[in-house]
Amino acid sequence: MKRGLLLIISGPAGSGKGTVIKELMENSDEFVYSVSATTRKPRPSDVEGVSYYFVSREEFEDKIARGEMLEYAEYVDNFYGTPKAPVVAALEAGKNVILEIETKGALAVMEKMPEAVSVMLLPPSGKVLRRRLERRGTETADVIEKRMQTAINEVEMLKYYDYLVINDEDAQSKAADDIRAIIKAEKLSAKRNAEFIDNYFV
Amino acid sequence: MKRGLLLIISGPAGSGKGTVIKELMENSDEFVYSVSATTRKPRPSDVEGVSYYFVSREEFEDKIARGEMLEYAEYVDNFYGTPKAPVVAALEAGKNVILEIETKGALAVMEKMPEAVSVMLLPPSGKVLRRRLERRGTETADVIEKRMQTAINEVEMLKYYDYLVINDEDAQSKAADDIRAIIKAEKLSAKRNAEFIDNYFV
């Protein structure tokens, strides 16, 4: 069984991550979406192991202490993070694991799993990004400004990523195609195939 | 104009480089095949600038001295090598330049043009490679053994390459598809798109 690829996908609000990931997952059973763990209480619509893995604060802290979290953060008194075990299990089963995560968490994962392939997804320009945020119509001007500032900080982090994929709404499936090409190419990388060569002439 | 990609393709005799490159070139006008320079005399069937650039020994040595050769080697009293100028001109015109070259020359090019993307093309196994060499029927057992030994040395060099592509004759177009995915992915690499981001929010 050839090991799957760990695919980190980051992108600011308005980058269309959700749509692109949905398209990747709908068109192939080679993908598994990494489910986060959290200490927040489940809501009626939540499904354990789908929305989140729901764990107690004590369990979460134990996992951190044992190095079982690839990354984590605390928001509004609750922990959120990526447990390592299900990611590794899926990779070993040959699945590509999609980790949708903001830049800070992404950097933590890159450090713990250097084999990860990281993609930053962006709209074609900052102008389009702003337009997408404004179009939602649900946010105040203040919130939009804050999101734009966050986006500016996130885009700065591109230098730590492997790939940049542009998500143009006028060519929706192109971004998914680009990511499929990235996965194909990464699986052909010489460093991922060093073992193949060891037995080439036997 | 977005700069093209310099694509180094190496592979032992019997790897099917010619067929794969032909398929790449026939299906796209984005490719240019890098033509070598040589000091050997043109034969009646040779076409200047297509078979080779034919130059005098003095010219060739001048080019070496001026750093105008990406790589070169001497066989049977003649120089063969890759002039840098046409490669750079094609890249600047947005073309992907294919450089079909043995491993030693490839390493010299990687050093001089670190932006190059290198692919080693191999048959599915050493056994298949041997069968392909034997099937040609034109070579003596001695020549086949020598070619196998050369292949063993070349495969050793995979660690210096970016990608490994397997050329299975039962799935001929797959190798070309793989190379197309590699080119697509490389053009999406964050390091090749750092400039795009500089002007993202202006």
ipTM of the complex as predicted: 0.92
With a cut of 80, say whether residue B2 has pLDDT above it: yes
Mean pLDDT (whole number) for B43-65: 95
Mean pLDDT (whole number) for A51-59: 96
A29-33, A157-161, B29-33, B172-176: the lowest-pLDDT one: B172-176
Q: Collect all residues of chain A within an 8 Å Cβ-Cβ radius of residue B161.
A: 190
> CA-based angle A153:A157:A160, to the nearest 5?
170
Reported confidence tier of residue A45, pLDDT bands at 50, 70, 90 = very high
Percent of residues, chain A, with pLDDT higher than 70: 100
- Number of inter-chain CB pairs under 8 A, A vs B: 86
Secondary structure of chain B as H, E, C letters: CCCCCEEEEECCCCCCHHHHHHHHHHCCCCEEECCCEECCCCCCCCCECCCEEECCHHHHHHHHHCCCEEEEEEECCEEEEEEHHHHHHHHHCCCEEEEECCHHHHHHHHHHCCCCEEEEEECCCHHHHHHHHHHCCCCCHHHHHHHHHHHHHHHHHHHHCCEEEECCHHHHHHHHHHHHHHHHHHHCEHHHHHHHHHCCCC
- Cβ(A144)–Cβ(A126) under 8 Å? no
Q: Write down the pLDDT at residue B149.
A: 93
Residues in A whose CB is inside 8 Å of some CB of B read: 120, 122, 125-126, 152, 155, 158-159, 161-165, 178, 180-182, 184-186, 188-190, 193-194, 196-197, 200-202
Q: Write down the pLDDT at residue B173.
A: 82
Q: Write down the pLDDT at residue B199.
A: 87
Inter-chain touch A126–B202, beta carbons under 8 Å: yes
Residues 6 or more apart whose CB falls under 8 angstroms from that of B139 comprise B133, B147
**Among candidate residues A160, A93, A185, A99, the one with its CA nearest the CA of residue B163:** A185
Q: Which amino acid is at A62?
A: D
With a cut of 90, say whether residue B27 has pLDDT above it: no
Domain spanning B6-34+95-198: which superfamily? P-loop containing nucleotide triphosphate hydrolases (3.40.50.300)
Q: Write down the pLDDT at residue A135.
A: 85
Rounded to the nearest 10 degrees, what angle do helices B126-135 and B141-156 cross at? 150
Which residues are registered as beta bridge partners of B73?
Answer: B80
Inter-chain touch A188–B182, beta carbons under 8 Å: yes
With a cut of 90, say whether residue A170 has pLDDT above it: no
What separation, in Å, do the N-terminal and C-terminal C-alpha atoms of chain B show?
20
- pTM for the model: 0.93
Q: Write down the pLDDT at residue A189.
A: 97
Mean pLDDT (whole number) for A119-146: 89
- Which helix (H) or strand (E) is A88 found in, with range? helix A84-92
Q: Write down the pLDDT at residue A71.
A: 97
Averaged confidence pLDDT in chain B: 94
With a cut of 80, say whether residue B139 has pLDDT above it: no
Q: Give the model confidence (pLDDT) of B146-183 as tens digits.
A: 999 999 999 999 999 999 999 998 777 899 999 999 99
With a cut of 90, say whether residue A172 has pLDDT above it: no
Inter-chain touch B185–A184, beta carbons under 8 Å: yes
A90 or B195, higher pLDDT: A90
What's the half-sphere exposure (Cβ side, CA atoms, 13 Å) at B189?
A: 13
Mean pLDDT (whole number) for A83-88: 97
What phi, psi does B80 have (nearest 5°)? -135, 145
Percent of residues, chain B, with pLDDT higher than 90: 83
Which residues are registered as beta bridge partners of B7?
Answer: B98, B117
Residues 6 or more apart whose CB falls under 8 angstroms from that of B161 comprise A190, B8, B10, B106, B118, B119, B120
- Cβ(B107)–Cβ(B157) under 8 Å? yes
